[in-house]
Amino acid sequence: MYDVVVVGGGIHGAGVAQAAAVSGYSVLLLEKSDVADGTSSKSSKLIHGGLRYLESGQFSLVKECLHERELLLKNAPHLVELKPFIIPVYTDTSRSALKIRAGLSLYALLNGLKRSGRFQSIAKSAWNNLDGLAENDLQHVFQYWDAQTNDRLLTQAVIKSAEEFGSELKTNAELLSANYVDDHWIIKYVVNGDESEAHGKITINAGGPWINRINNRFIPSPLQVNIDLVQGSHIVVDGEVSQGIYYLEAPIDKRAVFVMPWYGDTMIGTTELTYTGEPEKVHPTDGEINYLIDTVKHYFPKFRSITSHDVKQSFAGLRVLPAHDESAFSRSRETIIHEDIQNAPQLFSIYGGKLTAYRATSENVIQRIKHYLPSHKIRGDTKKIKLPTI
């Protein structure tokens, strides 16, 4: 009997497996495909507080993410790197220079006024060093600091750390069903074509966009949080922007779009499109690809000749957001850890969340499951554990 069975090998499954193993619990993690094959390799790859979430008043989320960013810079310097972020302000930019300055000041304050929270205005004389950024109607340029990672490698490193603390990982292992019998879950899964069974006192559903599909396989089935899946796509094109990560407004709808250096190329993203299909079938649409190309062409004359034929790579991921009529942009990005004690106790589902805050989310999960489990000798502190190299 395992103390904890985790379903899903994305960043949240990895984080919970690590935190549970560090807390002394026995852990089995089941991943139907390979580690980080879901959303956790399709993000914008930013380890950030999320400057734009200040606008929707999500201060505690921003503060927590900035704190986690600092920990990751310390514990995974080979995977998480501080980068200059550049915000150009044009005459038609929807946010004024004054508003952006206020936002950056608040961001620095929430970051505890650390060195990594400092920001500056870039002098006009230096604008021609900004990768050929269009200067027509350019009024102001800000530079602040946030971090970039490789989300797949980060997830793999957290899983490796979980394994070092004793977690068992099974890939190509899909949960088929789970039955609550005598105060624990009996889990049936198929691994490389063969059916197996495992018993767990606690089950964690870290299924990302598959979360409610997985919950439907539990007997009894828990009440579910109603969610929308919102697709976000990225493209990669030849030619690097080398001075940092550009934080731009798409000319068509004024949404935030990042233009980032990516292994010698340039990555551009992201989009927001409601998605209702099967999570494994999500892919960038022609409309999204053209939207991202139009954005990068608008700001960088050197990309003006690119077409969809020049896209070297493209990928789409799915955000899990509480169902609502509001636009995806203004909806809360707070993570929900849900347990339906009446119908399906000892099953916890992680809805939504940020790559950046995976450790804090995982520790919150451990706090929630603790009282169901006998206490064990703690083996470390996830705040201090260095992540291994991959």
Ligand X SMILES: Cc1cc2nc3c(=O)[nH]c(=O)nc-3n(C[C@H](O)[C@H](O)[C@H](O)COP(=O)(O)OP(=O)(O)OC[C@H]3O[C@@H](n4cnc5c(N)ncnc54)[C@H](O)[C@@H]3O)c2cc1C
Name the residues that contact ligand X, by CB under 6 A.
7-13, 30-33, 37-40, 42-46, 174-175, 206-210, 214, 232, 270, 317-319, 350, 353-356
Residue 76: CB minimum distance to ligand X, A = 14
Residue with Cβ nearer ligand X (236 or 355)? 355
Residue 100: CB minimum distance to ligand X, A = 20
Residue 33: CB minimum distance to ligand X, A = 4
Residue with Cβ nearer ligand X (88 or 208)? 208
Residue with Cβ nearer ligand X (319 or 359)? 319
Residue 17: CB minimum distance to ligand X, A = 11
Residue with Cβ nearer ligand X (117 or 208)? 208
Q: Per residue, what are the HEC states of the chain? A: CEEEEEECCCHHHHHHHHHHHHCCCCEEEECCCCCCCCHHHCCCCEECCCHHHHCCCCHHHHHHHHHHHHHHHHHCCCCEEEEEEEEEEECCCCCCHHHHHHHHHHHHHHCCCCHHHCCEECCHHHHHHCCCCCCCCEEEEEEEEEEEECHHHHHHHHHHHHHHCCCEEECCEEEEEEEEECCEEEEEEEECCEEEEEEEEEEEECCHHHHHHHHCCEECCCCCCCEEEEEEEEEEECCCCCCCEEEEECCCCCCEEEEEEECCEEEEECCCEEECCCHHHCCCCHHHHHHHHHHHHHHCHHHCCCCHHHEEEEEEEEEEEECCCCCHHHCCCCCEEEEECCCEEEEEEEECCCCCCHHHHHHHHHHHHHHHCCCCCCCCCCCCCCCCCC
Residue 117: CB minimum distance to ligand X, A = 18
Residue with Cβ nearer ligand X (189 or 300)? 189
Residue 279: CB minimum distance to ligand X, A = 7
Residue with Cβ nearer ligand X (38 or 200)? 38
Residue 12: CB minimum distance to ligand X, A = 4
Residue with Cβ nearer ligand X (11 or 108)? 11
